[in-house]
């Protein structure tokens, strides 16, 4: 059964993060620069939240706040649900679907080691389906005629 760790191994290893006292515009610039839709909020070595493009739009832009003067702490989701590297990817997929999350921070103990997105989970599913199809095609070819 595929795990979060295996999914993380197929991704670039750099964490994209901001601090809670950074400005929302800084978080948005990091999202743009790294082509991601969410960044972790890490203060010191501790995960304190996650902020998404949706958070910025709904909590900052729609109410008419200025992203250049609004702190990330005002837009982030504090104390987000997390997963461990050893967790099964299927459980994460269920959690994302049932709770409406698109991103899950990954912690090893209290240390942040990555983040998985719904896109990462879908890519892993597609890759595994391709492997299964290849196996079945080989099996059929070997046992046909």
What is the mean predicted confidence (pLDDT) over 59-86?
96
What are the structural domain ranges in the chain?
A: 4-143
What is the mean predicted confidence (pLDDT) over 118-144?
80
What is the mean predicted confidence (pLDDT) over 79-88?
95
Q: Report the pLDDT value the prediction gives residue 144, as an integer from 0 to 100.
A: 57
C-alpha span between 73 and 50 (Å, rounded):
9
What confidence category does residue 1 fall into, taking pLDDT thresholds of 50, 70 and 90? confident
Rounded (to 5) percent helix, strand, coil in the chain: 45, 25, 30
On whether the 4-143 domain is CATH 3.40.50.300, my answer is: no
pTM score of the predicted model: 0.84
């Amino acid at each position: 059964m595929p795990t979060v760790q295996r999914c993380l191994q197929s991704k670039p290893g750099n964490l994209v993060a901001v601090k809670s006292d950074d400005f929302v515009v800084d978080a948005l610039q990091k999202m743009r620069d790294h082509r991601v839709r969410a960044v972790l909020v890490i203060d010191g070595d501790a995960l304190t939240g996650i902020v998404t493009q949706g958070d910025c739009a709904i909590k900052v832009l729609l109410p008419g706040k200025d992203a250049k003067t609004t702190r990330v702490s005002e837009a982030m989701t504090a104390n987000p649900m997390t997963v461990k590297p050893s967790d099964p990817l299927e459980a994460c997929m269920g959690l994302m679907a049932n709770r409406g999350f698109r991103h899950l921070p990954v912690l090893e103990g209290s240390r942040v080691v990555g983040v998985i997105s719904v896109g990462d989970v879908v890519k892993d599913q597609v890759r595994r389906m391709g492997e299964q199809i290849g196996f079945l095609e080989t099996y059929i070819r070997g046992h046909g005629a």
